[in-house]
Structure 1
């Protein structure tokens, strides 16, 4: 939005930008709640600003949100946090109809788990340069003003981040293979096929479950397959779904209530890691699709 903003239209103009600002902050911070906090801080700063003095509201807000996010990331670095594996990233769960995630507008605000992990390892300035330029096409000159670097130095920040992120992009053929592996996993779990489960689970698979008691970790295909075999008689419905754009599983119980969400990491034709959520409180906070008829 270009041009000065009259005082009486500030709130309306801000709301027009909110969705984009939350998307920027989410990719910077990896948390929907933190992203909302960052955007709210931008609104508070805007409320204290003479709106008529702002020539480009969209650019001004992007700059403020970017700086707030950098401050939040740096603050995280100065205090102890739970290890990443013990934190539950925001999970966007959608139906998997076989289309590629980039064709699905419902996934516009999601970030794949692999990308989220990589972004979490970047220096705050690298992360901002990559997110703003590669994901939102903000010019390097503007990004440089946010991070206090020259345009060339900002390009280098984005280049370093891009090299680290490149390995998280998966071709269409690999996504098809992932779907096939998850389908085979579901079929074996439904029938209690122990050998079938061993064929699709990596021998050193890690199953990390967020339960009402906390995070429970199980290691090894034999251990995981054994647990799944014992649960095969449960009266549930399980279907493949997209979890942050990657093939996963949703399980519904009686009355269509979701009882589990699983994000599966597939490599080399086998499942190497499963992030599962069975805590009702955490599930209630997710927007899980209704059980198919």
Structure 2
């Protein structure tokens, strides 16, 4: 917790910005814990700063949070041995039992978090430029200063990132179509229909399975379709779910403990990415719904 005194005007000004700063850091890092650490570090730096030299406190704090977050993002890229949950966005899971996703208020929150899945594929500079400008309206001139690049270079980075995230902007009805693709894929898996599986897989589909021994990645439609038979039981016997705004499946053991969580990314009618979590330790960290 930040040690601030209500009588301290600097502390009061920081507290007024705290919620926004946490939101900026979370969008940049995809982790509430990391975001809180970044905001705390920003407070420590502010407490050591001569505030008389700061003309725009909100802008100064945004710059500091941006620079600290950029360091964290770059550190993740240089530490491939980092734990799986250190670099993946936190998963938000809801059972898909009721209304269409676009009508479900709880799902609306997870659709916003779905953007974090795409942001995680961006380079640190791209992610910072896009998040700060497109989500928080920070001028490119300030973004360039954080990155140590020109204003035009910052614009180019944001533009490149914007093209990569456009697939998350889904018109009404697309969510339902994506669910139907996933259900058809699972039906083919249940029937052992190899050709049927291939019809719903992008040729360059990526399957990531989070196991107790670490992530296992499979690339390519043929390989993923072959592997789908191995996990068909858990996938087809589970219940439909929404995972960070994406169609998914949640299954449990007979004693009610989580067995597996799958999330699918569907683009233009084909599955381009499958994320599967079967590691009990990882499942225990996720706020999962009950099977009842």
TM > 0.5: yes
Alignment match, 1:93: 92
For residues 85-234 of structure 1, what are the structure 2 equivalents within 5 Å? 89-95=88-94, 96=96, 97-100=99-102, 104=107, 106-107=109-110, 110-112=113-115, 115-119=118-122, 121=123, 124=125, 126-149=126-149, 151-186=151-186, 192-195=190-193, 198=197, 201-202=200-201, 206-217=206-217, 220-229=223-232, 231=233
d(CA) in 2 for partners of 1:105 and 1:240?
17
Give the conservation status (yes or no) of the 8 Å contact 1:38–1:69. yes
- Deviation of the 1:246 alpha carbon: 1.5
In the superposition, relative to structure 1, how do residues 176 and 149 fare at CA in structure 2: closer, same or farther (>3 Å)?
same
Identify the residue that residue 252 of structure 1 maps to in structure 2.
252
CA contact (8 A) 2:265 2:273 kept: yes
Distance 1:163 1:84, change over 3 A: farther
List alignment gaps of at least 5 residues for structure 2: none
Question: When the two structures are aligned, how many residues end up with a matched partner?
Answer: 279
Q: TM-score, normalised by structure 2?
A: 0.74
8 A contact 2:89–2:116 mirrored in 1: no
Structure 2 SS opposite 1:290: coil
TM-score (norm 1): 0.74
Whole-angstrom CA distance in 2 between matches of 1:111 and 1:270: 18
| Separation (CA, whole Å) in 1 of partners of 2:193 and 2:145 | 58
Q: Which residue of 2 aligns with 1:264?
A: 264
- Return the alpha-carbon distance in structure 2 between the equivalents of residues 128 and 206 of structure 1: 25
1:71 corresponds to:
71
Query: In structure 1, the residue corresponding to 2:90 is in which secondary structure?
Result: coil
How large is the RMSD of aligned CA atoms in angstroms?
3.9
